[in-house]
Amino acid sequence: MFFLAKVGPVVAKRAGRNAFMSRPVFETVLFVSRKDAPVARQSILGIQRLGRVVRRLENAEGSRVTVVGNLPGAELRTSLSGYPKRANLNVENTLTNGVQTEPGTRVVLFWDQNLIARKGFVEDLVQECRKAGHALSAADGAALAVPVDLLQTTGDWRTCSSIGDVHQLLLDGAAPVRELELEGFYCKATDRAGRRELKTHLLDELRKPMEVDGAISVLFYRPISLRITRLIANRNIRPNHATGAALILGLMAAGAMASGTPAGFVLGALLLQVGAIVDCVDGELARLKDQGSLSGAWFDTVTDDIVNNSFILATGIGLARYYDAMWPLVLGAIAVMLILPGLAYMYRDIRRMGSGDLCDFNWSFETDTASSEAGLVARLQSVLKYAVKRDVYVLFFLLVIVCGAPSLVLYTALLGALGFELSLIRELVYRNRFAREQAGQRVAAGMIRPIK
């Protein structure tokens, strides 16, 4: 017996994120079958294959994903185990009444249950179909995009239980179907070699560009963290577990630094290094297993800042013991006191944005051409922006401590705190000036009255 299961509509968390969000332009029909049930249950890095296919289709931000086939409802739910609770699965009959689309739909995608493609593949196929105005086949026939107008003039849909049936139905109705070559990765192989290739691609998707992650992280940290992620992906380990592990390692590093001994300094720097690598794993797990959340983002952000400031303060304590003087402790405390008010301001800003990631903080002065190109300070900030990334200073701390100059950790932290504070002051000055200019323009336009 066939069924129709609706995985119900994706809700955008941020307005304007994608043109598809305000007005859905496509829906997806995913064909599954009983004989492929073992394949549907294959674990692909912690998520069963069918569940991963559906998640990626849903993340493409169409209006709906419809699963069609003779797989019993119980097996479907098993294959979609761990699927987000927002998904509403209803077991019904097959395409008895044809393909029912929601208002605003322009294209219907027919998708093979084993096909997993690169991010953006679905959107590219939909866009090309809308341009062409006729059916397009891609990924060696595993994906088929058909304009809605064409579906309404096609024959009996009750006979369709696979993409091949849809293709034949279109040909019988004299509808043209053109093969489209899209660049990028896709995989529908289910053998061991195919699964290995698929896992490698999914892990490569987790890499971030160098301007975001930093050169040292891209070259050294990510290769190690991705291996860790691959090893633990099939286990019941969540991103917050990795974040907690990174926090523990960071606090242990701070404790070692506070010991005030050369061996403690080296151990602290090494633990901080390991913690930085483990800290990459939480984000990788969140993206790989679709377990990202606002609370998880905040947990990651806050723990990172706890580790960083604890390490700086602990370094001041350790150097005060090492040199038997108070100045290192004073410098460490000053550095932390410079950082904390700025963090509080950034926390407030990203909270208003509905985010928990400091990377989403909008440095407005960087987008202003006149402001960003003027002056030595601006150019220096542009150069130092990459130097103060965590991957750079964590490795620098390790190198200077191994070379027997632990006091450079404290001096560097103090300079970084001063630079951070100056950047925030510049941001505040820019925002206040911009607000005054906007208010002046509204007054000039007669939109508001000036206050006398």
DSSP string, 186-223: EE---SHHHHHHHHHHHHHTT---HHHH-HHIIIIIHH
More confident: 89 or 283: 283
Percent of the chain with pLDDT over 70: 79
What's the pLDDT at 300?
95
Q: Residue 383 in 3-state DSSP?
A: helix
Residue 13 has pLDDT above 50, yes or no: no
Q: 364-368 — which CB contacts under 8 Å span 24+ positions?
A: 364/427, 364/430, 364/431, 364/434, 365/426, 365/427, 365/430, 368/430, 368/434
Rounded average pLDDT over 415-425: 87
Ramachandran assignment for 138, one of left (phi > 0), alpha (psi -120 to 50 degrees), beta (any other): beta
More confident: 28 or 406: 406
More confident: 444 or 78: 444
What's the pLDDT at 323?
94
- What is the CATH class of 3-187? alpha beta
Q: Residue 359 in 3-state DSSP?
A: helix
d(CA 131, CA 47) in angstroms, rounded, equals 35
Q: Residue 150 in 3-state DSSP?
A: helix
Rounded average pLDDT over 291-300: 93
The pLDDT-based confidence of 256 (bands split at 50, 70, 90) is very high
This prediction has a pTM of: 0.83
Burial class of residue 192 in the structure, from the number of CB atoms within 10 Å of its CB (0-12 exposed, 13-18 middle, 19+ buried) = exposed
Superfamily of domain 206-356+364-438: CDP-alcohol phosphotransferase transmembrane (TM) domain (1.20.120.1760)
What are the residue boundaries of the structural domains of the chain, listed by start? 3-187, 206-356+364-438
- Beta strands at 26-32 and 107-112: parallel, antiparallel or unpaired: parallel
Token look-up 């506070």 returns 258
Count of other CB atoms within 10 angstroms of residue 313: 20
d(CA 71, CA 196) in angstroms, rounded, equals 26
262 φ, ψ (degrees, to nearest 5): -55, -40
The pLDDT-based confidence of 8 (bands split at 50, 70, 90) is very low
Highest mean pLDDT pick, 82-91, 114-123, 221-230:
221-230
What's the pLDDT at 308?
94
Residue 9 has pLDDT above 50, yes or no: no
Asked whether 153 and 177 are in contact (CB, 8 A), the reply is no
What's the pLDDT at 80?
63
Tokens of 69: 């086939």
Residue 201 has pLDDT above 80, yes or no: yes
Asked which of 98-107, 292-301, 370-379 is least confident by mean pLDDT, the reply is: 370-379
The pLDDT-based confidence of 88 (bands split at 50, 70, 90) is very low
221-253: per-residue pLDDT in tens?
999 999 999 999 999 999 999 999 999 999 999
Highest mean pLDDT pick, 18-27, 40-49, 207-216, 406-415:
406-415
Asked whether 315 and 401 are in contact (CB, 8 A), the reply is no
Q: Which helix (H) or strand (E) holds 371?
A: helix 369-373
Average pLDDT, the chain: 82
Asked whether 111 and 29 are in contact (CB, 8 A), the reply is yes
Highest mean pLDDT pick, 5-14, 284-293, 309-318:
309-318
Distances (CA, A) of 162 to 68, 110, 115, 175, 447: 9, 9, 13, 18, 60
Token look-up 């705190």 returns 417
Highest mean pLDDT pick, 91-100, 201-210, 312-321, 365-374:
312-321
Q: Distance of alpha carbon 275 from its chain centroid, rounded?
A: 20
Q: State the Rg of the chain over Cα.
A: 27
The pLDDT-based confidence of 450 (bands split at 50, 70, 90) is low
Residue 85 has pLDDT above 70, yes or no: no
Residue 83 has pLDDT above 80, yes or no: no
